Amino acid sequence: MPPAAATAMLGRTAFRATAVATLRQPVTSTKTGFALWWHRSREIMVGNVPVSMSLAEVPNEQPGSEAFERFLDQEGLPKRELGSIRCLVDGPEFFSEFDRQLAAANKSVDVQIYIFDNDDIGVRYARKLAAKSKHVPVRVIFDDLGTNTAMISPPLTPAPKGFVPPDDMKDCLQQDSEVEVRRTLNPWLVADHTKLMVFDNKTAILGGMNIGREYYSEWHDLMLKVEGPVVGSLAREIQSAWRKSGPWGDYSGFFPRRTIQWPEAKGGETLMRLLRTDAAAGRSEVLKAAIAAMRASRERIWIENPYFASDDLVRAAQEAARRGVDVRVVFPAENDSSLMEASNLATARELIAAGVKVYHYPRMTHLKAMICDGWATVGSANFDILSMRINRELNLAFSDERSVKDLADSIFLPDFRRSKRVRMKDTESSVAPFAELIADQL
């Protein structure tokens, strides 16, 4: 995209994130501003204190047990719901399932995404959604800031000959279609990092992937296919985001909600828990559950995440390794962010010093997953302050033995084998400490 066009596009995004967001979402904007100030100030303080300042109770219950789940209930986390999950590893599995669900939907298709890129894959799926909208109601929400900043950077794979990327994905989605499109506003430049699709209010797909070339064929990533009654709550999440992204914003709560029919249990489902980060709503459930699970773990903590900059999580991993837990962390060998690559080196150095096994995956892994003993969480949340305390995020947590084993077998064990063990000498970098200081605020 030419520099002048990119500047104009980001200028419009900034206008919507300030003036438009203030008018449509005055309550959200005010709460977000206060939360942003508090969390960033807290991170500066915590990051410069060499000991854990957490006053939270250390659970006695082992992650994966029913007693641990009851502990999370007592801590005020959302109640568990019945459902079933299946791992969709990398672009071929996710996009193939997206195609199947899109073709089979006969009542509704709802898509909430952080980045709806304007590359050839983004345009391909915009056209598929447009075609579907002639027969079934289709709604798409994309994050304004995330999508427009992604459009400036082309993917590694060259575009097909003659391909011309569109300047606006909202216009592209609505061209010759009945697709309803809304942008998620970004008060104080806070993003909605959620990736969630719901088909006929019966099947959902959530996780770390956006719609674009990187996720289709370049990066390692993970989505979960979800079915069962829990899909009703996921449909409600999209419904809430849709209403808030509309012209009435915060005032939409005064209007009637669309009725959502919860899917019935078919047998064989297990219990799982939806976790949110939402600064404006005072929700940091992803962090709260992750810290509890890491502090209570006795056998293993396996983490794969591209951006590991949360001091709270780093210290929880260090403490676990020092008490003899098998703590392993997988980073990408080449991160899409130079800053975060340097910051990860600083984090790796701290982790290795505490006895954590750190690995470099051979290409970019954008995957966000963790197993603590018999408990696991997967979703959109990175291990940084943005995902843990500020941006809107959506994770799924579960203790079902078969589901946790499937995650270990399909992701962690193969990725440990593919990855190179990082040694202390590999973390030497003159810029890493400075990058880590900056990353603490990202």
254-292 tens-digit pLDDT:
888 878 888 888 888 999 999 999 999 999 999 999 999
Domain membership of residue 143 as a residue range: 3-439
What are 396-421's pLDDT values in tens digits?
999 999 999 999 999 999 999 999 99
Question: Is the pTM here over 0.85, yes or no?
Answer: yes
Residue 311 has pLDDT above 60, yes or no: yes
Q: How far is CA 10 from CA 6, 16, 28, 113, 182, in A?
A: 6, 10, 22, 19, 17
Q: Which pair of structure tokens corresponds to residue 277?
A: 């980060």
Percent of the chain residues past pLDDT 70, beyond the cut: 93
Mean pLDDT throughout 319-346?
A: 92
DSSP 362-399: SS-B---EEEETTEEEEES--BSHIIIIISBEEEEEE-
DSSP 36-67: HHHHHHHHHHHHT-SS----SPPP-SPTTSHH
pLDDT at 428: 82
Residue in 226, 182, 202, 183 with CA at minimum distance from that of residue 94: 226
> C-alpha angle with apex 265: 137 to 410, nearest 5 degrees?
85
Residue 432 has pLDDT above 70, yes or no: no
The model's confidence at residue 199, banded by pLDDT at 50, 70 and 90, is very high
Residue in 182, 189, 148 with CA at minimum distance from that of residue 168: 148
What are 320-333's pLDDT values in tens digits?
999 999 999 999 99
Alpha-carbon gap, residue 382 to 367, rounded angstroms = 9
Alpha-carbon gap, residue 67 to 82, rounded angstroms = 18
pLDDT at 434: 54
Q: Which pair of structure tokens corresponds to residue 215?
A: 């996720």
pLDDT at 293: 97
Residue 440 has pLDDT above 60, yes or no: no
Question: Which is more confident, 433 or 268?
Answer: 268
Mean pLDDT throughout 99-103?
A: 98
Q: Residue 231 carries which side chain, given as an amino acid letter?
A: V
CATH number at residue 274: 3.30.870.10
Mean pLDDT throughout 194-200?
A: 98
**83, 230 contact by CB (below 8 A):** yes
Mean pLDDT throughout 43-70?
A: 75
pLDDT at 56: 61
Q: E-assigned strands of 189-335?
A: 196-199, 203-207, 222-227, 270-278, 283-284, 300-304, 326-332
Question: Which is more confident, 431 or 238?
Answer: 238
The model's confidence at residue 45, banded by pLDDT at 50, 70 and 90, is low
What are 361-387's pLDDT values in tens digits?
999 999 999 999 999 999 999 999 999
pLDDT at 58: 78
Alpha-carbon gap, residue 391 to 150, rounded angstroms = 17
Question: Which is more confident, 433 or 79?
Answer: 79
Q: 């800031």: which residue's tokens? A: 145
Could you give the number of structural domains in the chain? 1
pLDDT at 92: 97
Q: How far is CA 442 from CA 43, 259, 266, 346, in A?
A: 10, 38, 42, 15
pLDDT at 399: 97
Of 11-25, 90-104, 210-224, 254-268, the range with the lowest mean pLDDT is 254-268
pLDDT at 354: 97
